Amino acid sequence: MAARAPDAMTGAMADKSFGTTVQRLVRIDGDKPTGLGILADEADGVTLVRSGRRASFGSYFNAFPAAYWNRFTDATAVRLLVTVAGSGVLEVKVSDAEGVARTFARMPITDAQASVDLPLDSFDDGGMAWFDVVAGRDDVLVLDAEWRVLGLQSDVAAPSVGIAIATYNRPIACIVQLRAVAAQIADGAAVSRVVVVDQGEKRLEDAEGFAEVSAALGERLAVIQQENLGGSGGFTRGIMEILESDCDLILLLDDDAEPGPEAIHRAATFAGAATQPVIVGGGMLHLDRPATLYTQGELWMPARSWMTTASPDGYDVDLQRGVMDVPGMHRMVEADYTGWWFCLFPREVVSRVGLPLPLFLKFDDAEFGLRARAAGIPTIGLPGVAGWHEGWASKDPTRTWEGFFILRNQIITGLLHSHQRRGGVLPLRILLGDIQLLLRLQYAAVRLRHEAIRDTFRGPDNLPRSIRTAQATVRALQSTYPDGRVVVGDDLAASPTRSLAQPTGAFSKTAWLVSELGRHLLIEARSDSRRRAEDRIPLRESKWWRFRGLDSALVESPNAAGWTFAQRDRRRTLESLRKSICLTWRLSRDWPKLSREYREATVHLSSPASWQALLGIDEEAPR
């Protein structure tokens, strides 16, 4: 028998005027895996549960993060409303912090809307909630479902969101992002302003599709053109524009990301209901592996001045089979910061901690989040809130001009937030990183890292002075090295790629490294290696051990844009290693002094007045 649409509601508890809807049923369509939404068949915009089968809604986008709502809001309970056509059984499941599930409620449901209330105080240590539908002799259609929080002292439907997007020469990707935002607004997201700061030569307003998305967003949309000041300059300009409006919340979105279903609504209602200011971070799902969660939030490792995922499951978690396969999803996890592919916070955060620092790009998101954490503002990587973004596996930014900003801003963030004597192990790790790059014949990358340390020594006042010129300077410097220039490679045709096994075990790796370093320091390169590359090394294989015994190689450039001709140079290796040792020693020696200087300058550098001067904005001029 075919399932029918419901013709009645069951129970007084199904009154939709009671409670605040914070999460609705998500169905995944298009090119995204359906397992992120519903673990069952789907048909015609509804979920079909075939006779005798079970559909689980314990998926990433449909499980309810009960522990977070219990910890950070004053909600006392959550109400689940499920509407079906047909006859079956509704089972409400809950888990604890260890991911152990139990059935909270089980009831028959026939052509109706069922309602179940779950007290939130049972989720003190962690846990999630979800539901399953089991069909009887006939198929069941799950038409709708939503979660409504009860007992809030304030109206969380009111907070309005202002979105800031910084873009640089990616108009098509940015239009895709704007379409996704417009779709979420049409679906109920309370967005009142969208500010796009366009810093590129390829203008967003000239791109195909802009007129359409501009019409969809209407008066909410503002496009501001300014010179390229990197992500920090673009996002900060967007934040400042939103602060001139009456928006309650500010959301930062990368131009080449796409927010997940209901992401804006879920993040905004959670932030609006929180009993203290919180930063709500969205997880990053891989664009090329849409069911793989790169991270839901990240932690700062002070000794290394580097990041790691906040999830106990590690990076790159497969979500295809639902939350029960991801034990860490059930635990309460606070992050130190979240990436700006999706980062939402109340405007109060800016008044308490200031604006981002003028770092151009890289580590600006980490530094801002760590500054907020120091002010008592936590970052919450809320499960079920995420966006799709290109992953890092196909990139090697340490070999590009970005390597300068990565290392310089890593050091600056460490000086501000790591509180380690002499920088912890960071100076040593920088030296070891330089050695590995030298063994990969990447002299340009090492030179840019040297410049990054020197730029740190110039002090915090140099940051606003150099934000306009640093990129061009380091790109020009990189191009003076053979391994810093992309070549065609036809006249440098390499012999077939060698098959070389990676060393395993600490002793083997150390022996290889010492042997190779000795060869680089003591033995001159073969003269014919400069005329013809001895090997061709793809990007994915560009590891230090892959260059063993080579004096030259064609190395695939980052982003697969071409090839660089890497050539071993004994004199350059000696000089580069000497400078690496001197610079890292000085960094360790001067760490306390530099740390004081940067901390004392942060309040000014992150102030609206400093940014207004940097951007050339008249404080009194109308926006």
- Pairing relationship of beta strands 552-556 and 536-537 according to DSSP bridges: parallel
Catalytic option among 254, 255, 256, 365: 365
CA distances from 576 to 484, 506, 521, 546, 569 (A): 15, 26, 11, 21, 10
- Report phi then psi at 197, rounded to 5: -100, 110
Measured distance CA(469)–CA(459) in Å, rounded: 16
Measured distance CA(290)–CA(158) in Å, rounded: 32
Measured distance CA(204)–CA(178) in Å, rounded: 11
- Report phi then psi at 490, rounded to 5: -65, -40
- Partner residues linked to 279 by β-bridges: 379
Q: Is 288 considered catalytic here? A: no
Burial 314-346 (b: 16+ CB within 10 A, else e): eeebebbebbbebbbbbbbbbbbbbbbbbbbbb
- Residue 509, Cβ density class (10 Å: 0-12 exposed, 13-18 middle, ≥19 buried): middle
Tell the residue number behind the tokens 């919340």, with chain if given: 249
Contacts of 575 (CB under 8 A, 6+ apart): none
CB atoms within 10 A of CB 579: 17
Measured distance CA(565)–CA(163) in Å, rounded: 43
- Partner residues linked to 295 by β-bridges: 284
Q: Please report, for the chain, how many H helices and E strands are present, in that order.
A: 15, 27
**Residue 88 and residue 133 in contact, taking contact as beta carbons nearer than 8 Å:** yes
CB atoms within 10 A of CB 313: 18
Measured distance CA(335)–CA(369) in Å, rounded: 9
Tokens of 31: 């090119």
As annotated, the active-site residues are 365
